[in-house]
């Protein structure tokens, strides 16, 4: 079974994260066993993204959500950097500014959606407004509880206008998160990522789990599916996401556009120029 089918959450599912093993690696035993496949997929992804960019008819939006240290930056660095920056960009969503708070919660998201021919990766996304907002009671329940359907409407509109959406929840265990925090402490190159919130937010692990389960269950649709990706092993996470992105792009029916110029005439001019050069003219 393809990972696109295996990890896809069916619409209307009652999602319970305890039923998904974050350590799952399928038949692959280690990174070396999967590395060759990952490299093949990255090359294929690059070709497909180039065709999408040239075709200029559709676009792709990839949403990454995860607990702190869940691997969102790692996916961008190890998977998405195989794409040409000319047609691919990353949008990150931090705590909203005063200007953003003065608008509805989707206002800042709308501005970052992909244009035709483009791939955009959301590092965090509009789902923060039914996750952290819910966990920390930043707005009343009567407000955030209506946002699931508003999100579904928003995503349906994007899809209707040619944007394909893939949403990945990077599923790590609480134990693995703590180990990654320790690695940051031990690595001078990554200490800048450490914040007090990393540890205080762990106290809300159960509340975040409930919020993720609700968001995934209520907002995984045929048009914009959620995928729960086992992510305790970074290399398997990269493999699974690469396969899903490639397989999805292969279904889009994209193709290189036909030339808009007379190729025979251009070839004739080229040969004339080459002949003149050889003749010393």
Residues 6+ apart with CB under 8 A from 12: 217
The DSSP secondary-structure symbol of 225 reads -
Instruction: For the beta carbon of residue 173, count every other beta carbon within 10 angstroms.
Output: 16
> What whole-number distance in Å separates Cα of residue 182 and Cα of residue 88?
32
Taking the model in full, what pTM does it have?
Answer: 0.92
Could you list the pLDDT tens digit for every one of the 281 residues in the chain?
Answer: 899 999 999 999 999 999 999 999 998 878 887 888 999 999 999 999 999 999 999 999 999 999 999 999 999 998 888 899 999 999 999 999 999 999 999 999 999 999 999 999 999 999 999 999 999 999 999 999 999 999 999 999 999 999 999 999 999 999 999 999 998 888 888 888 777 777 888 999 999 999 999 999 999 999 999 999 999 999 999 999 999 999 999 999 999 988 777 777 778 777 766 555 555 55
Residue ranges per domain, the chain? 3-278
CATH class assigned to 3-278: alpha beta
Q: State which H helix or E strand residue 24 sits in.
A: none
């Amino acid at each position: 079974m393809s990972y696109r089918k295996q990890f896809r959450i069916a619409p209307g599912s009652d999602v319970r994260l305890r039923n998904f093993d974050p350590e799952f690696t399928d038949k692959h035993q280690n990174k070396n066993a999967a590395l060759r496949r990952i490299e093949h997929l990255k090359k294929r992804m690059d070709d497909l993204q180039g065709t999408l960019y040239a075709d200029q008819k559709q676009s792709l939006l990839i949403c990454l959500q995860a607990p702190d240290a869940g691997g969102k930056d790692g996916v961008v660095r190890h998977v998405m950097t195989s794409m040409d920056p000319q047609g691919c960009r990353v949008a990150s969503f931090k705590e909203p500014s005063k200007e953003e708070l003065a608008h509805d919660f989707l206002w800042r998201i709308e501005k970052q959606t992909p244009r035709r021919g483009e791939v955009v990766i959301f590092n965090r996304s509009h789902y923060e407004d039914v996750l952290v907002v819910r966990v920390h009671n930043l707005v009343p329940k009567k407000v955030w509880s209506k946002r699931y359907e508003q999100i579904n409407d928003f995503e349906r509109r994007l899809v209707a206008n040619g944007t394909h959406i893939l949403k990945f929840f990077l599923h790590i265990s609480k134990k693995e998160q703590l180990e990654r925090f320790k690695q940051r402490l031990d690595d001078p190159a990554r200490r800048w990522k450490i914040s007090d919130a990393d540890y205080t937010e762990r106290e809300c692990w159960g509340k975040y789990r409930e919020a993720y389960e609700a968001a995934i269950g209520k907002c995984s649709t045929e048009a914009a599916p959620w995928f729960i990706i086992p992510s305790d092993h970074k290399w398997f996470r990269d493999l699974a996401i690469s396969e899903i992105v490639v397989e999805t792009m292969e279904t889009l029916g994209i193709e290189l556009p036909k030339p808009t110029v007379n190729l025979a005439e251009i070839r004739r001019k080229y040969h004339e120029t080459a002949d003149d050069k050889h003749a010393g003219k």
